[in-house]
Structure 1
Amino acid sequence: MKRVLDKVDEKILAQLAENARLSHNDIAVTVNLSRNAVRLRIDRLERDGFIRGYTIIKGSATPESGPIRALMFVYRKDRMRGGDVLKYVRSVQEVVTCDVMSGDLDVVLHVEAVSVDRIHKLWDEISALPEVLNTVTSFVLTRAKGSPHGT
């Protein structure tokens, strides 16, 4: 009998496909399970053939191959009760900084990712959060001043 994956298994697989070096603890935070439960699920996914190996993707170490940067502006439905949005973005490794703003703008995320596809996936995930009203994402074309590593 072929086993069907549940949503938690799918999320674990998606995270490992994006970064196979994620710790069980990092995954546990995003799927709301204990570290041990995540370890057991990964063991089962390996045993059942859903994970057949881990690999590396070789890249260049030159500065030109640095991360793709973007600013994501997040508007929450209720600024005073939007804590789940902040909790979620704190768990995303590509979010370098998260600034809660005054005025019309609500939250600004400084994102650094290995690909445009990863930033698009983050946009999908964040815009789908129940507390998010709207998002706007702008890609950084050139950094005119500041640290090249977002620090």
Structure 2
Amino acid sequence: MKRILDSLDERIIAELRLNARAAHAELAAKVNLSRNAVRQRIERLERDGAIQGYTVREGEGRQASATINAVIFVYRYDRMRGAEVLQALRAMPQVTQCDVMSGEFDLMLRVGAASAQGVHKVWNDIAALPGVENTVTSFVLSSVV
């Protein structure tokens, strides 16, 4: 049964917004409850769905790193029966786009990773797939459109 939030619940949630890692004793002092009462309220708020998770906010000392993008052209041994390669590529979260091509290359992949080493690891994983004959990789220098 979901309950209506009272002012103490709202204060606890407000404090958790400021610091989701705050100890129950610290929260208790701020909202004038016992540590155990705060713990029970937080558990109820989680159960009732008022608190659905905790997250991390990056501080000022940490700069967000830009994603390194690359295009990988893939040659498969058998263009017509290469479904296992496509299935494996769908399971790779770094592969953001996969196009089946006519012409020289079989597949064109768009890959994003946190670093050049991350792109290299994805490239190694793709090159090691059964059914992949060869690859050509180019790093994206800039995007115009």
**Alignment partner for residue 60 of structure 1, among 50, 58, 63?**
63
Matched residues in 2 for 1:82 and 1:60: separation? 41
- Following superposition, the deviation at residue 120 of structure 1 comes to 0.4
Normalised to the residue count of structure 1, the TM-score between the two structures is 0.54
Percent of residue pairs identical: 51
Local SS of the residue matching 1:118: helix
Which residue identity lines up with residue 128 of structure 1 in the other structure? A
Matched residues in 2 for 1:72 and 1:131: separation? 15
- Following superposition, the deviation at residue 142 of structure 1 comes to 1.0
Matched residues in 2 for 1:104 and 1:73: separation? 9
Partner residue, 1:17: none
Partner residue, 2:126: 126
Partner residue, 1:22: none
Matched residues in 2 for 1:66 and 1:118: separation? 13
- Following superposition, the deviation at residue 104 of structure 1 comes to 1.5
- Following superposition, the deviation at residue 60 of structure 1 comes to 1.8
- Following superposition, the deviation at residue 117 of structure 1 comes to 0.7
Partner residue, 1:107: 107
Q: Specify the structure having the higher radius of gyration (Cα).
A: 2
- Does the alignment pair 1:86 with 2:86? yes
Normalised to the residue count of structure 2, the TM-score between the two structures is 0.56
Matched residues in 2 for 1:129 and 1:92: separation? 12
Matched residues in 1 for 2:130 and 2:87: separation? 13
Which residue identity lines up with residue 60 of structure 1 in the other structure? Q
- Following superposition, the deviation at residue 98 of structure 1 comes to 0.4
- Following superposition, the deviation at residue 144 of structure 1 comes to 1.6
